[in-house]
Structures are given as C-alpha cells and as structure tokens.
Chain A
Amino acid sequence: EVQLVESGGVLVQPGRSMKLSCAASGFTFSSFPMAWVRQAPTKGLEWVATISTSGGSTYYRDSVKGRFTISRDNAKSTLYLQMDSLRSEDTATYYCTTDGGAYWGQGTLVTVSS
C-alpha cells in the first residue's frame, strides 16, 4: 500500500523557520519526481515546489523562491521542505505528492502567526 506521511507542521511566529518531512513507502520513491502542494484554509490548491528524482533539479513558485528549499533522501525514502522567513500568507495545509499527482499524503498544517 502506498503511503506518504507528512510531519512537522506546527504554529510558528512570522520570520521563523521550520522543516516538514514526508516519509514514503509502498512505491519506488527514487523513481518519482516529488512535490509539495499547499492549501490555505478554505482556499484552493497551490503548487509550491518540485524536485527531480535525483534531487539535482528543483523548481519553486515565485512567492517562496529564496525562502523555501525542497530536498530528498532517496536512501530514507523521505522528502523535505525547509521553510525560512515564514509569513502569515504561508499558513496552509502542506501536502506531499508525487509530481504527477498520483499519490498524496494526508497533509500537515502550518500556521504562521504571532
């Protein structure tokens, strides 16, 4: 059974940092480009970042470029999202997903508030 389990979502103050993790199982993690997609409360889906299978290529939406870093550890079948200089507008449920959207985690809530 395919599983993507996100963790790390918490309440954090603006300007602070946090790191999300996503543990994958049930499929060949290293064969899939992976992505983070977020959803602000009561809003639609918003792509955040994608990383290639090897980790050698990364892509970001403009609003997080220079603040967020996507990475992966294929030996551990784990995806990460390092989020720095957090803003209130980053408040959302963050989903870990294969870049094509075939597999999704349950999401982890990140709240940025003072």
Chain B
Amino acid sequence: DIVMTQGALPNPVPSGESASITCRSSKSLVYKDGKTYLNWFLQRPGQSPQLLTYWTSTRASGVSERFSGSGSGTYFTLKISRVRAEDAGVYYCQQVREYPRTFGAGTKLELK
C-alpha cells in the first residue's frame, strides 16, 4: 500500500499569513497517462470533507484561488495564502493512483 505522510503546522497561524502543508508518498503518484493522482481535502469541524485540489494542482470547482497545490512524484505541498477563519480544520492528502486509496493522517490548521 502507498503510505502518505503529512507534515505538521506551527499552530496557531495568524490570520492573514500563509501556511504550507507537506505530503509525501512512499511511491510515485505519476500514472501511465502522465497525470499525478494526488488530492487535497479540507474537513471543517463537524462537516464532511471538501475537495480542494486534484491532479496535484487543479483546483476543484468553487475553491478559492488562495489554495494552491504543487509538487511532483512523491513530494507535494498545499499552500494557503492569506489564511482566514473559515480555513480552520483538518487537511488531508490522498493518493488515487492505485488501490487501496490511502489518506495522510491529517494536518490541523488552527487560527490565532
């Protein structure tokens, strides 16, 4: 199984600052079609997860431009610019390159 390892944030993050979350995979997430199958989700307290980005860097419909995904191969980053109160929650990376799908353990973002 592909193991997904997420980094921590130096919480709390001051409102208006930027925050970056890292995610490493134990195997390359590049598929034979050339795409890199890495998703980022945000789960706000008491809510279902929300897709932020897919294929590493493509923002999902309706997602703010303040969220940007980057990376390649086995190392990925989600950057949140100008952090706001509504960005608080737990962020998960997920690989969908192969089965079983696997998630990172989650990274909590708390705001100051």
Contacts and interface: CB of A to CB of B under 8 A. Distances in A.
A106 interface: yes
Interface in B40-74: 41, 43, 48-51, 54, 60-61
A64 to B, nearest CB: 10
Interface residues of A, number: 21
Nearest to B105: A44
Contact of A102 (B51, B101, B102, B105): B51
Given A44-B92, A44-B103, A101 B51 contact: yes
A102 B48 contact: no
A108 B48 CA distance: 11
Interface of A: 35, 37, 44-47, 50, 59-62, 95, 97, 99-102, 104-107
Closest 5 CB pairs of A and B: A47-B101, A104-B48, A59-B99, A101-B51, A45-B103
